[in-house]
Amino acid sequence: MFDVKLPLEKETTSPFLDQALRSWTKLQKCPEETSVLLDGEGLDIPSVVAVARYHGRAATKLDGNIVERVNSSVKWLREYLAKGYDVYGVTTGFGGSADSRTLDFHGLQAALLQLTQTGILTESDFSPEKANYDTGFHSMPVTWVRATIVVRCNHLLRGHSGVRYEIIENLLKLLNLGMTPIVPLRGSISASGDLMPLAYIAGILEGNPDIKVHWDKDGQGTTTVISAPEALKVAKLDPIILGPKEGLGLLNGAAASAAVASLALYDTNQLVTLSQVIVGMSCEALLGNAENYHHFIAAIRPHSGQLEIARNIRHFVRGSSLLETSETKDRTRAGLFQDRYAIRGASQWLGPGLEDLLLSNKQINVELNSTQDNPVIDTESGEVYSGCNFQAASVTTATEKTRLALQMMGKMLFSVSTELINPDLNRGLPPNLTADDPNLSFTMKGVDINMAAYMSELAFLANPVSSHVQSAEMSNQPINSLALISSRYTMQAVETLSLMCAAHLYVVCQALDLRVLNVQFQDAMDEEMEKITRDICDQLTSEQLGFLLASLSKAARSSWSTSARENLQLRAQLLGNEVANPLMTFMQKYGSSSSQYPDRLSAIVEVKARVSAACEALYATMRTAAYLEPQTEKYLGDASKLLYQFVRRELQVPFHTGLAEHPTVEEGLKLNRERKTIGSWISIIYQAIRGGQVRTTLMQLADCFHHCRETKVVE
């Protein structure tokens, strides 16, 4: 026999959750600050998000050393060229054409922009108010472009690129005025950086009249499209003639890839936390066992991700009245003895992805503060080095790990959602989580189909991009990272998982309302059966009464659970029939014990009839009350309660009452609220997730967990 010594859970840090909380907290403070200050070294993901999505301003730190560092590389390069030395991309052609030579420094940089401004845009990209009939947009979202500008400016501030400080200032001024060029979505292989997208950003600086610009005058997202020369005029800037290497310095980096990856990872961090809470809520709705996430299980297979997921979910469900624990579980129950795979294996399934995401976040943060350029200038040693720092494979691997983690989360949510909706699996909830009669109402059936569609798309997106590299540019680029493509697909995966989270959150709130209604009804039905039994079987001893009531309760609960597919009237009849069996067995042993009905059969028939009638009336009354004001919150764990309140109170997404909710059906029950399609209610949740509204709730639960760990071990 092995003597396994488990470590006590003294180490209660949750690295990923802590990182997410720090990120959310910083973002919350960013809009309050004057601007995000750039120095080439301290940019992080929440700062990129603040500038990209929340109209945060960006500026360089007021540090003369930064200006000197940037401009000294320009000065040094000019001195180097004055000696007659060649420099790639300054006196030579580009890529496979690097065997050519020229001394037309300015013309060569203009030629670089010409050869890279080759992306495809359509009329709808310049007139987004027009209806989208077929082609859709071929341009990047404004947020992606804003993020790209701030990332590239931070790269250039490192002083290795030979780009004047004035150029960085001009880019930031345009950014802070709400001006972003319209950049083609496709066409970058992220080999020599994201040449094509960055060429359109550089095009605004040279005043290219064929480059169009979104101008968000008031920071409210309503843009006017103007030309680059008009944008410069409004900003009171002169067009810039790019000096030696300045075009290459602006273009030769994977800033767009790192920027879009930053946005995707920020969203992923939110979805990871949200998914864990949803799993906890689902475990409650399924009357699961909290020991699925017991420290012992994780400690004897101590992967850091599994340990954290188990610890987090244990905390999230703390205080729940719906879950079993090691202390309260029925150790001799019939039927399914343990929870099914999806709920039971959540920490093992999600844990590895958590570990990958920590590395992905680290890789992207490094990229945000790196020199992604070629050639690079080392003013201290007096040398120009040619290399491949523009090669963005680190971004690709970071985003591919992220997509795989998103797919794992999606598969978890899909599996659990299906379990909640399917009456064969959901432990007594009605089919399709229908609150009214399931023979004429199919509430969540369509959502189940939607989830399958979302999951299929998410699974496809999880496929690697890096295995599809094509040799490009005169075969000079036989290995290229495809980082921007990977980042774009990761954003699509984020969007798809957000749809799944919204749908599942709607499903699980419905399931919890129905579960609590069931729990309350069964308790109330026990009381009704006791009244009926006392009234009819009025000659029982206390011991006999207790024994009989326990038998009746067990039969009634079993019947109620197994008859969930039926309408209320039939369920009530079946329940009455079911309680007749233990009553008959009891009377055969003890007699009728009734002064009113000495005939056993008459007593049984009366109990059966009265129990059926009481059941139907009681459930109808309690269901109507739950429609108007569910009593769910007091049964939930700490985190589940916060998220449930967010949906039901803050977003005002109600308990779905069934067919009467449909806007074109004559309303029977007066709900005193607007009736919507199911999709419209889920859309409200989705917008709250994508818009960041849910972040405040997630911060509350993460912060609560943080303080809890400071005071005691999470058990």
pLDDT tens digits for 285-312?
Answer: 999 988 888 888 888 889 999 999 999 9
E strand or H helix at 384: strand 383-385
Asked if residue 8 has pLDDT above 50, the reply is no
Residue 71: burial class (beta carbons within 10 Å; 0-12, 13-18, 19+): middle
Nearest Cα to 50, choosing from 257, 252, 219? 219
% of the chain surpassing 70 pLDDT: 92
Asked if residue 361 has pLDDT above 90, the reply is yes
ω before 431 within 30° of 0 (cis)?
no
Q: What is the pLDDT of residue 708?
A: 61
User: With bands split at pLDDT 50, 70 and 90, how would you rate the model's confidence at 130?
Assistant: low
450-504 tens-digit pLDDT: 999 999 999 999 999 887 767 766 666 676 778 899 999 999 999 999 999 999 9
Q: Average of pLDDT values for 142-164?
A: 96
User: With bands split at pLDDT 50, 70 and 90, how would you rate the model's confidence at 6?
Assistant: very low
83-101 tens-digit pLDDT: 999 998 899 988 888 889 9
In this structure, what token pair is assigned to residue 15? 């690295």
Asked if residue 154 has pLDDT above 90, the reply is yes
Q: What is the pLDDT of residue 134?
A: 65
HEC string for 570-625: HHHHHHHHHHHHHHHHHHHHHCCCCCCCCCHHHHHHHHHHHHHHHHHHHHHHHHHH
Nearest Cα to 619, choosing from 528, 509, 507? 528
% of the chain surpassing 90 pLDDT: 61
Q: Kind of pairing, strands 376-378 and 383-385?
A: antiparallel
**Least confident among 187-191, 334-338, 424-428:** 334-338
Q: What is the pLDDT of residue 715?
A: 45
User: With bands split at pLDDT 50, 70 and 90, how would you rate the model's confidence at 132?
Assistant: low
- 34-79+119-253: in CATH 3.40.50.1580: no
Q: What is the pLDDT of residue 207?
A: 96
Q: Kind of pairing, strands 223-227 and 36-38?
A: unpaired
Q: How far apart are alpha carbons 703 and 604 in whole angstroms? A: 57
Q: Average of pLDDT values for 361-380?
A: 93
Separation in Å, CA 549 to CA 439, 529, 604: 32, 8, 14
Q: How far apart are alpha carbons 511 and 11 in whole angstroms? A: 35
Catalytic residue at 266? no
254-268 tens-digit pLDDT: 999 999 999 999 999
Q: Kind of pairing, strands 36-38 and 58-60?
A: parallel
Contacts of 685 (CB under 8 A, 6+ apart): 502, 505, 506, 647, 651, 653
How many CB atoms lie under 10 A from the CB of residue 301? Answer: 11
Q: Are 38 and 255 in contact (CB under 8 A)?
A: no
In the block, residue with structure tokens 């030769």: 252
Asked if residue 179 has pLDDT above 70, the reply is yes
613-662 tens-digit pLDDT: 999 999 999 999 999 899 999 999 999 999 999 999 999 999 999 998 89
Q: What is the pLDDT of residue 4?
A: 38
Q: Each residue of 243-272: b (16+ CB within 10 Å) or e?
A: bbbbbbbbbbbbbbbbbbbbbbbbbbbbbb
Q: What is the pLDDT of residue 94?
A: 86
Separation in Å, CA 597 to CA 379, 545, 548, 580: 106, 17, 17, 15
User: With bands split at pLDDT 50, 70 and 90, how would you rate the model's confidence at 714?
Assistant: very low
User: With bands split at pLDDT 50, 70 and 90, how would you rate the model's confidence at 220?
Assistant: confident
Residue 211, classed as helix, strand or coil, is: coil
HEC string for 472-512: ECCCCECCCCCHHHHHHHHHHHHHHHHHHHHHHHHHHHHHH
Q: Average of pLDDT values for 22-36?
A: 79
User: Residues 85, 88, 341, 454: which is the catalytic one?
Assistant: 88
Asked if residue 540 has pLDDT above 70, the reply is yes
Q: Are 356 and 404 in contact (CB under 8 A)?
A: yes
Asked if residue 357 has pLDDT above 60, the reply is yes
Torsion 46-52-55-56 (CA) sign: positive
Q: Angle CA(152)–CA(155)–CA(156) in degrees, nearest 5?
A: 90
Nearest Cα to 677, choosing from 378, 447, 436, 375? 447
Q: How far apart are alpha carbons 259 and 483 in whole angstroms? A: 11
Domain boundaries in the chain?
34-79+119-253
Q: Are 180 and 145 in contact (CB under 8 A)?
A: yes
Over the chain, what is the mean pLDDT? 89
Q: What is the pLDDT of residue 573?
A: 95
Asked if residue 597 has pLDDT above 80, the reply is no
Task: Please tell me what DSSP assigns to residue 564.
Answer: T
Q: How far apart are alpha carbons 349 and 270 in whole angstroms? A: 18
What global pTM score does this model have? 0.92
Q: Average of pLDDT values for 574-591?
A: 85
**Least confident among 25-29, 42-46, 366-370:** 25-29
Q: Are 36 and 57 in contact (CB under 8 A)?
A: yes
Q: What is the pLDDT of residue 463?
A: 93
Q: What is the pLDDT of residue 255?
A: 95
